[in-house]
């Protein structure tokens, strides 16, 4: 048991000592002076040790869950590898090692199978590849069932999307939820056909009680429109079809790494305003903070992030760090960067303790 987990037992131990004070007085009164001296010495040592642990614990609060992680199969790593930049395979063993370094207990593995269905990449064997990546991700999670869960991934606009969702819903290792990536799949909330397709996907997830994690930020490379208008379209036209399941918007409605994205900030401001108004479609809405805070974040951007966290309420904010690959910060370093935000200790503790409803 690590120190972080052991600290949780301290309050109970303190209560136990207080409750048995009378018993201790009877015990001490029966001891010789030498015995009393030894007990006093042990007590002083124990007290200083407990105090040190408590102070260390306050300074090293860590999240219970990393709600935004990825693994990459050998075939996916090969797909993402270029001549200039090799891409590594990332397995469950790699994720657990990173979690252990950070003191984080659990993680959500969001399948990247949607990458096979990206426009311009899809082919005749796309569905085979999508299913293989989803199944590989599920198999990785089952290697550490007490610590990892897997979400199914696919392009929501693909003609196989509903079939793959239903297949995942029948798989005990994938039925917790789905991961959608609007940028990679080139989903456009201004397109009525795209919205209608999303409505069917969200309704199917809702029917199967599958949570939804969505990278909402529209494609930057394709210069798709994104901001408050698209956030409002998502709330009004899509969210009503997933009224009974948690919906987790990734990267605080941005993309990461970093949060110097005015369009994402406009979208997030719309979500915060909707929550403040108590709009029904926000009832089960959550936001993860994967990769939006790094060591180089400016004070101005940090203040914007904090403003949005307070705007939606820290209880809706889920810690996540994103894939431990390329230049992304690893979970331990990501949390260290996040802790430097000008949040209160109570706000940080709340976010660290948050566990998404789909894990409860």
Q: Does the CA dihedral 238-200-175-181 come out positive or negative? A: negative
pLDDT bin (cut points 50, 70, 90) of residue 3 is very low
Let me know whether 39 and 152 are in one domain. no
Rounded average pLDDT over 40-55: 42
Percent of the chain with pLDDT over 70: 84
- Tens digit of pLDDT for each residue in 198-249? 999 999 999 999 999 999 999 999 999 999 999 999 999 999 999 999 999 9
- For 75, the token pair is 């075939």
pLDDT bin (cut points 50, 70, 90) of residue 34 is low
Let me know whether 107 and 24 are in one domain. no
Let me know whether 206 and 286 are in one domain. yes
pLDDT bin (cut points 50, 70, 90) of residue 33 is low
How many domains in the chain?
Answer: 2
Let me know whether 51 and 93 are in one domain. no
Please tell me the least confidently modeled range out of 26-40, 98-112, 117-131.
26-40
- Tens digit of pLDDT for each residue in 253-301? 999 899 999 999 999 999 999 999 999 999 999 999 999 999 899 999 9
- Tens digit of pLDDT for each residue in 157-211? 999 999 999 999 999 999 999 999 999 999 999 999 999 999 999 999 999 999 9
- 3-class DSSP state for residue 107? strand
Euclidean distance between CA atoms 229 and 217, whole angstroms: 12
* Distant-in-sequence, close-in-space partners of 261: CB < 8 Å, separation ≥ 6: 217, 254, 255
From the number of C-beta atoms within 10 Å of its C-beta (0-12, 13-18, 19+), residue 88 rates as middle
Let me know whether 42 and 128 are in one domain. no
Let me know whether 120 and 233 are in one domain. yes
Q: Are strands 65-69 and 285-288 parallel, antiparallel or unpaired?
A: unpaired
CATH code (residue 300):
3.20.20.140
Euclidean distance between CA atoms 119 and 116, whole angstroms: 9
The residue assigned the tokens 């056909």 is 193
Q: What is the pLDDT of residue 285?
A: 98
Let me know whether 324 and 295 are in one domain. yes
Let me know whether 179 and 31 are in one domain. no
Let me know whether 76 and 38 are in one domain. no
Let me know whether 52 and 166 are in one domain. no
| Full DSSP string of 286-315 | EEE-TTS--TT--HHHHHHHHHHHHHH-GG
CB 88 within 8 A of CB 72: yes
pLDDT bin (cut points 50, 70, 90) of residue 121 is confident
Let me know whether 53 and 89 are in one domain. no
Range of the domain at 277: 65-359
């Amino acid at each position: 048991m690590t120190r972080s987990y052991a600290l949780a037992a301290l309050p109970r131990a303190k209560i136990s000592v207080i409750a048995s004070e009378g018993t201790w007085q009877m015990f001490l009164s029966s001891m010789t002076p030498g015995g009393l001296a030894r007990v006093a010495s042990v007590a002083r040592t124990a007290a200083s040790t407990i105090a040190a642990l408590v102070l260390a614990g306050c300074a090293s609060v860590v999240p219970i869950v990393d709600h935004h992680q990825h693994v990459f199969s050998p075939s996916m790593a090969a797909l993402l590898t270029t001549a200039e930049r090799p891409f590594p395979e990332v397995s469950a063993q790699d994720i657990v090692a990173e979690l252990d370094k950070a003191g984080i207990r659990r993680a959500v593995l969001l399948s990247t199978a949607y990458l096979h269905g990206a426009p311009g990449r899809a082919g005749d064997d796309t569905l085979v590849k999508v299913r293989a990546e989803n199944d590989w991700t599920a198999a990785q999670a089952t290697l550490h069932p007490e610590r990892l869960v897997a979400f199914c991934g696919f392009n929501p606009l693909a003609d196989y999307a509903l079939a793959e969702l239903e297949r995942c819903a029948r798989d005990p290792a994938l039925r917790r939820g789905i991961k959608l990536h609007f940028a990679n799949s080139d989903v456009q909330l201004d397109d009525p056909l795209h919205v209608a397709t999303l409505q069917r996907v969200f309704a199917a997830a809702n029917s199967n009680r599958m949570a939804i994690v969505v990278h909402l930020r529209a494609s930057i490379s394709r210069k798709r429109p994104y901001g408050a208008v698209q956030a409002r379209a998502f709330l009004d036209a899509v969210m009503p079809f997933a009224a009974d399941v948690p919906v987790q918007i990734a990267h605080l409605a941005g993309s990461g790494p970093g949060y110097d994205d005015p369009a994402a900030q406009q979208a997030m401001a719309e979500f915060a305003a909707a929550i403040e108004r108590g709009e029904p479609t926000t009832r089960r809405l959550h936001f993860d903070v994967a990769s939006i805070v790094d060591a180089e974040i400016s004070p101005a951007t940090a203040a914007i992030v904090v403003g949005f966290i307070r705007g939606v309420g820290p209880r809706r904010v889920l810690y996540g760090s994103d894939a431990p690959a390329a230049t992304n910060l690893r979970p331990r370093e990501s949390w260290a960067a996040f802790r430097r935000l000008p949040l209160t200790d109570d706000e940080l503790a709340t976010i660290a303790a948050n566990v998404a409803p789909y894990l409860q």
